[in-house]
Chain A
């Protein structure tokens, strides 16, 4: 076995030093009745070459680009990833290191995460961003808990147009806590209805996603003002980070905490994970942030350097009073996002975001002209909702056979939206792909 370096000679000389007769003797502190009798029942070991064949067969059965044209977003987006990003991200000094507990030996990771925090804060229009969370959903749950800690209130209001699976995660995190989650309904034009807020008191936070699950751009400023009137924190969430290359950032719209999914920033979809939970806030809430933070400092010679900081918030010091239990986060995904943001740059991200929006508009126009209803008339970014005729399931199945995945069926998430589908177009779909989709559904 190529990963195990010990020769039998090594083993016997080491056993001698330990003064044990054989390898089995090393486990003398494990009581006999705790020991497994016999071998584990696992498949026979594969060689590296057999593994290649086996995994290629599994991978080959998956519906992916370029063979399949997938018009599905809903929190996971297909974007081009430059080879340079994947290549430098694969540097094993980054990949095979641990959390940077020893800063003198981890300045690469630390400076890179500090830069990520900075670029993330700039993208979202906030003052500070954490080093990363697991995904957009857990970042939202942690943001809501953070607001509860800050305000010492026990109730939050969240938009029903926040990604349904994110809301499910929030519900799961909140179940044993006794904190209350109230959902805000939505209006005919596909944005959150904030009217319900007028009746609510003692809210810790109001949370809204923009662009929302239907792809519609929310009136963040107006909802934020309502939240602040109630002395609640205003949390904005997102699933498509690229949108802020074009749209006004949430910080400029009054957000106190911004959280969401950074997968669009150079991270492969990988069947949903690993992903990148992004979380940023105003500086005044910095000491209530969950998760790791990297800060700038100086070494003994006065040279600039970076360290993990504000650790007194964290579980290894504060134990049960910590702001979160998060320890291992998604550092390498944050690094990918930083590399990606540095590569596209200011003008690049704007043009790329614009292209996403325009392509989605092109498909929207094509479907509308083909006679399908575009359900919500609010402006959208790169996703939108279409109503197909009753019985579209058959067409959907037919399209799958033609290697087109025409969006996500909405009724499992919004039962009132029978025959409605959420479609997504990014820069990876060509005009021909879109024309073909319109042709096939008509």
Chain B
């Protein structure tokens, strides 16, 4: 293969913040004091927090060095399945930091915030079109927050009908947050197993769906990267018993312009703007998880809603059946600007092309690696494919070993040990923004690692060798937690 990407550059050590600095330094230009000092009861004042005193350069070097111990999409391929680490366009960052957006107070009168409201209104329309749903809230701050908002909507819907239902069907190929979101809303998740093809069968749903079940929460495409082909019949069964269909839309990036969920029986779904719509993940957020609903659920959406009246935009609160608020203000507004910018620069044609290429890249990896790695569900996939370490077991090499070894080759590992339905899962999602050359290099790296597994398995057990640290003791971290210094 070509020269490997993985190398050890000059990586500098850096202590903890409070191991640096000296009393009396300050890294902040203190604003001018143009008013006198007013007395304040000594009883109320404290000593001030025990922060280190650092100069501006101390702080800048600290974080610059730390950043160099990190790997991002801008560093290299990050094929973390289900997390959709596609490229985050830089122009979107620019738009979100425009002073009129970044500096805006969330409670400004509508007359002084038309630009923000117009952007929100239009983004809601775009998302409605892309999903085939009728109405949107941008308030949820992340995917799991959207799931919670969706569950609240389902709860409010049944409550208005005067019925109390206690369960929600959650298939084994759903996202990990789904059962927790269901439970937060007082429902009991009812697990259902997928069939031998990795998807839900109509019979499995028909068997469990009853009038005590509020609905189903289905991830589509699912976490095996497979399209739930029976979704329409499943929706019919759920609807016939008075239930609602929730779609976890985290994997919407596979089907933009191909499938509109609102047209195939879905009543409510969330999107992850930090996945499908290219906003960066920030090492764990902020995200944004808009919820999209069909007309029958619109009255229950969180307030305030952005409304257009006589060509002006206002925030309307008067929705008596609304579930309330899930965030103090308007959710991750700064993130929604980036998604808006993405949709405006892509347009209909390129959004569809992005989905097609994401699916092409995933299938290309699946076909190229299926001899090297075990492929439990050998059928056309959507945006991601799931392998396992079955072939490497003979050499006592695990998924984890291969994942760690990939780092030495200069790639972020795929998602591992998820979904739970595949033992030792290796879930690869390349996204559409990786070129064929990058992907070929990734495939070669995996083939080389599979060879190493046969010939020098200890190399894998000892990986990674080229990162800032070697394998970390996670058991000790949990047994004797040290959460602050």
Contact B478 A312, beta carbon cutoff 8 Å: yes
CB distance from A24 to the nearest CB of B (A): 8
CB distance from B141 to the nearest CB of A (A): 4
Give the CA-CA distance A68 to B105 in the complex, in Å: 11
Contact B145 A58, beta carbon cutoff 8 Å: no
Give the CA-CA distance A319 to B283 in the complex, in Å: 23
Give the CA-CA distance A192 to B49 in the complex, in Å: 26
Of the listed stretches A90-98, A152-160, A183-191, A199-207, name the one at the interface; the rest are far from the partner chain: A90-98
Contact B51 A4, beta carbon cutoff 8 Å: no
Q: Which residues B95-115 have CB closer than 8 A to chain A? A: 95-109, 111-115
Q: Is A439 an interface residue (CB 8 A)?
A: no
Give the CA-CA distance A117 to B349 in the complex, in Å: 44
* Chain B interface helix/strand/loop/mixed: loop
Q: Is A107 an interface residue (CB 8 A)?
A: yes
Give the CA-CA distance A324 to B126 in the complex, in Å: 31
Known: A95-B282, A163-B328. 13 other contacts (CB 8 A): A4-B357, A14-B364, A30-B255, A76-B106, A91-B64, A271-B116, A286-B481, A292-B284, A297-B473, A327-B177, A351-B30, A352-B30, A379-B41
Contacts of A176 in B (CB 8 A): 151-152, 155, 185-186
Give the CA-CA distance A72 to B216 in the complex, in Å: 44
Contact B56 A165, beta carbon cutoff 8 Å: no
Number of residues from A at the complex interface, CB < 8 A: 203
Residue ID in chain B nearest A91 by CB atoms: B67
Give the CA-CA distance A347 to B189 in the complex, in Å: 51
Contact A431 B35, beta carbon cutoff 8 Å: yes
Interface flags, B292-322, vs A, CB<8A=1, else 0: 0000000000100000000000000000000
Q: Is B227 an interface residue (CB 8 A)?
A: yes
Q: Is A196 an interface residue (CB 8 A)?
A: no
Contact A102 B284, beta carbon cutoff 8 Å: no
Contacts of A98 in B (CB 8 A): 78, 80, 83, 85, 281, 283-284, 412
Q: Is A368 an interface residue (CB 8 A)?
A: no
Contact B229 A18, beta carbon cutoff 8 Å: no
14 contacting pairs across A/B (C-beta < 8 A): A1-B346, A15-B360, A30-B229, A98-B85, A105-B412, A106-B283, A118-B485, A122-B51, A163-B328, A269-B106, A273-B141, A346-B52, A347-B53, A434-B35
Q: Is B192 an interface residue (CB 8 A)?
A: no
Contact A297 B484, beta carbon cutoff 8 Å: no
CB distance from B278 to the nearest CB of A (A): 8
Give the CA-CA distance A322 to B51 in the complex, in Å: 33
Contact A299 B344, beta carbon cutoff 8 Å: no
Contacts of A131 in B (CB 8 A): 284
- Known contacts A315-B180, A332-B283; decide if A58 and B141 are in contact (CB<8 Å): no
Q: Which of B24, B75, B380, B485 contacts A296 (CB 8 A)?
A: B485
Contact A58 B118, beta carbon cutoff 8 Å: yes
- Known contacts A274-B286, A431-B35; decide if A106 and B91 are in contact (CB<8 Å): no
Contacts of A19 in B (CB 8 A): 367
Q: Which residues B30-68 have CB closer than 8 A to chain A? A: 30-31, 33-38, 40-41, 44-46, 48-54, 56, 59-60, 62-64, 66-68
Q: Is B407 an interface residue (CB 8 A)?
A: yes
Contact B50 A358, beta carbon cutoff 8 Å: no
Of the listed stretches B204-212, B390-398, B451-459, B463-471, name the one at the interface; the rest are far from the partner chain: B463-471
Q: Is A27 an interface residue (CB 8 A)?
A: yes
Interface flags, A1-45, vs B, CB<8A=1, else 0: 111111000110111011110010011111101111001111111
Contact B51 A273, beta carbon cutoff 8 Å: no
